Amino acid sequence: MSAVGARDQGAMAALYDRYSSVVYGVALRILRDSAAAEDVLQDVFLQLWRNPGVFDARRGALGAWLAVIARHRSIDALRKQKPEDELPETVAINMDLENGTARRRVVEKIRAVLQGVPQAQRSALEMAFFEGMTHSEIAEKTGEPLGTVKTRIRAALITLRKAFAE
């Protein structure tokens, strides 16, 4: 990241090669359109190039942060809303995401944990995460009480957290 801060195009290309599939994967899943997903991919990396200081590399993992930023930007595009200013400066994660093989193992574990989350919880979380729906919108769509929707979203996230705390 420090090389990117020093305007090293080669370093930027290396970062792209390492993490473009992470950013593109999130955008494609949310937008379900390859051209729109490519636009988000371009936007996320161009923002990083223009303003590398927006990510606090001392406290977090770039791969995890890029995944979160890609999600936010994709939801902005999906809902045709003004880009959110309030983005996290870092995402702390105690895993190796730089190495492609290690990251694939992490991804497989995440998917396995998600498969074990009760369907109602997973569904509520996915509607919030992949469609950017508010809990009110989810409650209206599913007919569930607001409190239940909130509880399910948090419970699913906590299940993920606990699986990686072990």
Partner 1 sequence: MTAHDQFAEDLALYALNTLTGADKAALEAHLAGCAECRRELEQLHTDISLLALSTEGPAPPARSRQRLLSAIAQEKPAAERESRRSSAWGWFWVPSLAAVAMALVAFSLWRQSQDLNRRIKNLEAQNSQVQSEVQHAREVANLLTSPEAKRFTLIAANARPQPQAKAVYMASTGKLVLLASNMEPPPAGKAYEVWLLPMSGAAPMPCGMFKPDSKGSATMMGPGMPYGTEAKGFAITMENEAGSEVPTPPILMVGTG
Residues that bind partner 1 (CB under 8 A): 7, 9, 12-13, 16-17, 20-22, 24-26, 28-29, 34, 37-38, 41-42, 45-46, 49-50, 63-65, 67-68, 70-72, 75, 84, 86, 88, 90-93, 97, 103-104, 106-107, 110-111, 114, 125, 128-129, 132-135, 145-148, 150-151, 153-154, 157-158, 160-161, 164
Q: Identify which of 129, 128, 130 has the alpha carbon closest to the alpha carbon of residue 149.
A: 128
Write down the least CB distance from residue 1 to partner 1, Å.
Answer: 15
If the CB atoms of residues 9 and 99 are measured against partner 1, the closer one turns out to be 9
* 17-43 burial: b if 16+ Cβ within 10 Å, else e: ebbeebbbebbbebbeeeebbebbbeb
Distance CA 72, CA 75 (A): 5
Write down the least CB distance from residue 31 to partner 1, Å.
Answer: 11
Write down the least CB distance from residue 6 to partner 1, Å.
Answer: 12
* 108 to 24, 77, 101, 111: CA distances (angstroms): 17, 28, 11, 5
Write down the least CB distance from residue 60 to partner 1, Å.
Answer: 9
* 35 to 47, 69, 70, 73: CA distances (angstroms): 18, 18, 15, 14
Structural contact between residues 42 and 74, judged by C-beta atoms closer than 8 angstroms = no
If the CB atoms of residues 1 and 157 are measured against partner 1, the closer one turns out to be 157
Write down the least CB distance from residue 53 to partner 1, Å.
Answer: 16
If the CB atoms of residues 70 and 77 are measured against partner 1, the closer one turns out to be 70
Identity of the amino acid at 38? E
Structural contact between residues 57 and 71, judged by C-beta atoms closer than 8 angstroms = no
